[in-house]
């Protein structure tokens, strides 16, 4: 799943038993031995969106269930505006029915866009844009061997809790280079690559 999108996490009883008067509890297995995080709990019509306390702060206002589907045993939920930090293992537990379901969710960072801003005989000015990243990622230009290229200071703007980052570099050698986006909290990377030919410096 990509950041910023909505995702449905499925959880249904095979018997399709009505769960309107039952209990089901969605939890996320936290990182670094922090235990479990409360995602969404439902008990006989009382849940986190209508006053029930206890929901983990990061999920408040982002999770909903399918009210009309409860009578068919469907306890699926929707998490809106996905963040990379939402990646992880989730459980859907029916404690009184002694049933538990496990799901794994992977949210990837937005891919960068590369544009050529200017080109001369001596070099090409490249721009990398990353839109809507959460949390704030590290953005850098690299050559094809993975060496960091000199770049201007990144331009960073915040839109809500999302980051829009622009990073420019001037390439003076013919070859491939790439813009690499790293989410350091999860050590996930995405990148875009471009091949640049410097007219005034044709390789032998």
Q: Is the pTM of this model over 0.85?
A: no
Domain definitions of the chain by residue range: 7-105, 113-196
Mean pLDDT computed over 11-30 = 93
Task: Tell me how far apart the alpha carbons of residues 159 and 151 are, in angstroms, rounded to a whole number.
Answer: 24
- Over residues 36-78, the pLDDT tens digits come to 899 999 999 999 999 899 999 999 999 999 999 999 999 999 9
How high is the pLDDT of residue 122?
A: 75
For 113-196, CATH number out of 2.130.10.10, 2.40.50.140, 3.10.20.30, 2.60.40.10 equals 2.60.40.10
The answer, yes or no, to whether residue 35 has pLDDT greater than 60, is: yes
Rounded to the nearest angstrom, the gap between the alpha carbon of residue 190 and the centroid of all alpha carbons in its chain is 11
Domain 113-196 in the same topology as domain 7-105 = yes
For the domain spanning 7-105, the CATH number is: 2.60.40.10
Q: Which long-range contacts (CB under 8 A, 24 or more apart) does 32-37 make?
A: 36/91
How high is the pLDDT of residue 85?
A: 80
How high is the pLDDT of residue 34?
A: 63
């Amino acid at each position: 799943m990509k950041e910023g999108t909505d995702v449905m996490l499925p959880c249904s009883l095979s018997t399709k038993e009505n769960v309107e008067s039952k209990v089901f509890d969605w939890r996320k297995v936290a990182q670094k031995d922090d235990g479990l995080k409360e995602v969404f709990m439902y008990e006989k019509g009382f849940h986190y969106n209508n006053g029930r306390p206890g929901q983990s702060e990061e999920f408040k206002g982002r999770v909903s269930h399918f009210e009309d589907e409860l009578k068919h045993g469907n306890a699926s939920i929707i998490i809106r505006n996905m963040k990379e930090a939402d990646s992880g293992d989730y459980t859907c537990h029916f404690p009184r029915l002694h049933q538990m379901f496990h799901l794994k969710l992977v949210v990837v960072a937005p891919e960068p866009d590369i544009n050529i801003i200017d080109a001369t005989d001596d070099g090409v000015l490249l721009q990398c844009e990353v839109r809507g990243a959460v949390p704030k990622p590290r953005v850098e230009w690299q050559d094809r061997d993975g060496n960091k290229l000199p770049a201007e200071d990144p331009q960073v703007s915040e839109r809500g809790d999302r980051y829009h980052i622009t990073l420019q570099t001037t390439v003076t050698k013919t070859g491939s280079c790439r813009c690499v986006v790293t989410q350091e909290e999860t050590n996930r990377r995405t990148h875009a690559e471009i091949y640049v030919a410097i007219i005034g410096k044709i390789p032998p």
